[in-house]
Amino acid sequence: MTNSSVSEPILDMIIRSSDKTETAASYLGHRDRLKNKVLTFGSDVLQDYELLELLLTYSIPRKDVKPLAKELISVFGSFAAVLNASPEELKQVKGIKDSSSVLIAAVHSAALRIAKNQFSNGPVIKDWNALIEYCKIDMGQKKNECLRVIFLDARSRLIKDEILQKGSINQTPVYPREIAKRALDLGAASIVMVHNHPACDMRPSKNDIKMTETVKKALTALDIELIDHIIISKTGHFSFKACGFL
Residues 1/51, Cβ–Cβ less than 8 Å = yes
Question: 189 to each of 116, 183, 202, 242, how far by Cα in Å?
Answer: 20, 8, 27, 21
DSSP string, 35-88: HHHHHHH-GGGS-HHHHHHHHHHTT-TTS--HHHHHHHHHHHSSHHHHHHS-HH
End-to-end CA distance of the chain: 35
pTM above 0.85, yes or no: no
**pLDDT tens digits, residue range 145-187?**
899 999 999 999 999 999 988 876 566 677 888 999 999 999 9
Q: Is the predicted pLDDT of residue 83 greater than 80, yes or no?
A: yes
Domains and CATH numbers, the chain: 7-111 (no CATH), 123-239 (3.40.140.10)
For position 16, what pLDDT does the model report? 52
Question: By C-alpha distance, which of 147, 140, 138 is closest to 108?
Answer: 138
| CA dist., res. 39 & res. 88, Å (int) | 33
| CA dist., res. 31 & res. 6, Å (int) | 21
Collapsing DSSP to helix, strand or coil, 146 comes out as: strand
Phi, psi angles (nearest 5°) of residue 165: -145, 150
